[in-house]
Chain A
Amino acid sequence: MTAGHPRRALQLVQNPERLHWHDQAVWFVRQKRDIARSFVPEWEELRSLASQIKAHALSRLPDYLEQFESRAKAAGAVVHWARDADEHNRIVLSLLRERGVTRLVKSKSMLTEECKLNEHLEAHGIEVVDTDLGERIVQFRREPPSHIVMPAIHLKKEEIGALFHDELGTPEGLSDPKALAEAARVHMREKFLAAQAGLTGVNFAIASTGGVVVCTNEGNADLGTSLPPLHIACMGVEKIVPSPRELAVFLRLLARSATGQPITTYTSHFHGPKPGGEMHIVIVDHGRSRILARPEFRASLKCIRCAACMNTCPVYRRSGGHSYGVTVPGPIGSVLARQRDLPPMPRKSFRAQWRDRGRAR
């Protein structure tokens, strides 16, 4: 758990009605996952295979990253390397500035949340529109996502209705999800048409082909990259899979684990730029190689961000994503945050060192 969690959790815990609503909403997704995986008899085998593939890819990360870079270049993409969030943000900003871009549409990317890219670009006068519906909702509210797959799971439809009334001018009191989604769609369509660049996250980067794969349910990554001439894809170094063969294992696991769907509505493969366009891939470390160097934390880099750990976690369900105070909340977030935000633990306590000294004398 992160420091301050008990205090921040009170906001949800002290409101039993809301607590049980949130718990049940997230538990419902866990149940959908249980049903979806029950149709895959080899489920546990798939999970362990996926874990082994990640362990393998991480053990040869430099080789696979270089292979990915050369194949991506051969396909016509430009590859950038960013040591940390600052360098990542500088690279993206300069790509946009060099081309005179002032309007950017984004599909979901937890990496850019981690790097606080939106804030950086907005501070430099660029309009950033998150086009995932949940992300757009939390962007309107100027708050971070509370869940990595369902960014606005902490909000009730009435609250979203009130927000859309303020932001999009929907009728007061409108809370029908279909009507609200339609209003968001109209709003977003304008933004898509006006955008001069599209930025996406990356779910998987394929070393053998130099391609990147983005999984969405709304098709927003496709629209955001098809319309404007510039596509920027941002990925952490750990997103590498060796080849399309291994990718297949993960695609069978990801959506089932995340939302209980057999597969996301859109699984978009990008191999180089579209004709006449540009594709830039930014590969980011930002503390990941430090995690890789620590055997007890290394396994956390295998995470595919399905959020199943959040959905099953009784603490997350009863305290809400914002209570963690970090980009990725919940169980995996608590492991990752320890690595990012805290200095390394002393190797030995005073007590142990005192004992050693006594022994040595």
Chain B
Amino acid sequence: MEVALFIPCYVDQLYPQVGMATATLLERLGVKVHFPEAQTCCGQPMANSGFFDDARPLAARMLRVFEPYQVVVCPSGSCTSMVRNHFPELLPGAPRLPVYELVEFLHDVLKAPLRGRFPFRVGLHQSCHGLRELRLGSGSERLVPAFSKTADLLAGIEGLQLVELSRSDECCGFGGTFAVTEEAVSCAMGRDRIADHERAGAEVIAGGDVSCLMHLEGLLRRDGKRLRTMHVAELLAEATA
């Protein structure tokens, strides 16, 4: 199978190792990976703040850049949701990009059983966009049978123990521009999330969105905590090495 990587701008600039881990993991699973270099930001920050006109040309550009590919994979829930759920609102009638979030792609499309070893207690951070816009998990507010695609993937990893959080899917407070405009509330939310993972005995906070992890990592560093954050791609790449 061949896929094109959609690497969000903040991953490209700030967490390139997550992009590299995504590519390594996919190649290890026998996938041929392309990276269309003309790609830019998908327009999410503008769209989230209500600047639809400014987001539209970026959305149109994304469609042009990825037009030649059958499958697009992205290691971010919020950017995947932007392309899947909000491009059609910005560009009515435009063709849909066949984009998958990484966990979704591994779980639903590739269905490759992952074998590896990662001997740590892991707290799963379920990002809002992944949960509520991509349905990567059930979401505690809805009365539906519980599931988590990320937990399913991690279940095959030897030594990995998922810890039980008291609030299984509370927002970390990042929220894109929310972290800028609402700094105080945003940090209070992040610190509460970290405290929940600490109480549960996690050694690693793992998640599918680097943006959430960046927020938590910043707070961990400022507060001098030992807990570390890892994107699921990094965790799986390391576990399956």
Contacts and interface: CB of A to CB of B under 8 A. Distances in A.
B1 to A, nearest CB: 35
B54 A13 contact: no
Which of B56, B143, B181, B183 has the most C-beta atoms of chain A within 10 angstroms of its own C-beta? B143
A235 B50 CA distance: 32
A360 interface: no
Interface in B153-189: 167, 170-171, 173, 181-185, 188-189
A125 to B, nearest CB: 42
A315 B170 CA distance: 10
Contacts of A19: 188
Interface string A26-48: 01000000100110110110000
Interface stretch (A1-9, A73-81, A103-111, A211-219): A1-9
Contact of B185 (A13, A27, A41, A43): A13
B144 A9 contact: no
Given A1-B181, A10-B184, A349-B51, A314 B143 contact: no
A37 B184 contact: no
Nearest to A312: B141
A213 B58 CA distance: 51
**Chain B interface size, under 10 / 10 to 19 / 20 to 34 / 35 or more:** 20 to 34
Given A44-B144, A349-B53, A314 B184 contact: no
B222 interface: no
B182 A14 contact: no
Nearest to A27: B167
Contacts of B143: 37-38, 40-41, 43-44
A142 interface: no
B226 interface: no
B173 A314 contact: yes
Contacts of A23: 192
Nearest to B166: A27
Given A1-B182, A6-B183, A44-B143, A318 B54 contact: no
A339 to B, nearest CB: 14
A123 interface: no
A203 B231 CA distance: 47
A316 to B, nearest CB: 10
**Chain A interface size, under 10 / 10 to 19 / 20 to 34 / 35 or more:** 20 to 34
Q: Say what secondary structure dominates the interface of chain B.
A: loop
Contact of A6 (B53, B141, B182, B189): B182
A319 interface: yes
Contacts of B50: 345
A319 B192 contact: no
Contacts, number: 54
Nearest to A319: B185
B140 interface: yes
Contacts of A349: 51, 53-54
A34 B182 CA distance: 28
Contacts of B167: 27
A351 B54 contact: yes
B53 A318 contact: no
Nearest to A346: B53
A260 to B, nearest CB: 13
B192 A6 contact: no
Contacts of A248: none
B181 A352 contact: no
A348 interface: yes
A19 B173 CA distance: 15
Interface string B42-69: 0000000011011010000000000000
Interface string B185-197: 1001100100000
B142 interface: yes
A345 B173 CA distance: 27
Interface string A325-353: 00000000000000000000100110110
A314 B141 CA distance: 13
Nearest to B51: A349
B184 A14 contact: yes
B169 to A, nearest CB: 10
Contacts of A37: 143
B53 A348 contact: yes
A315 B143 CA distance: 23
A319 B184 CA distance: 9
Nearest to B183: A6
A281 to B, nearest CB: 35
A43 B145 CA distance: 12
Given A6-B182, A349-B53, A349-B54, A318 B188 contact: yes
Interface of A: 1, 5-6, 9-10, 13-14, 16, 19-20, 23, 27, 34, 37-38, 40-41, 43-44, 312, 314-315, 318-319, 345, 348-349, 351-352
Given A40-B143, A44-B143, 9 more contacts: A9-B182, A14-B184, A38-B143, A314-B171, A314-B192, A318-B188, A348-B53, A352-B53, A352-B56
5 pairs of A and B residues whose beta carbons are closest in the complex: A352-B53, A43-B143, A13-B184, A349-B53, A314-B171
21 contacts: A5-B182, A6-B182, A6-B183, A6-B184, A6-B185, A9-B182, A10-B184, A13-B185, A20-B192, A27-B167, A37-B143, A43-B143, A314-B170, A314-B171, A314-B173, A314-B189, A315-B185, A318-B192, A319-B185, A349-B54, A352-B56
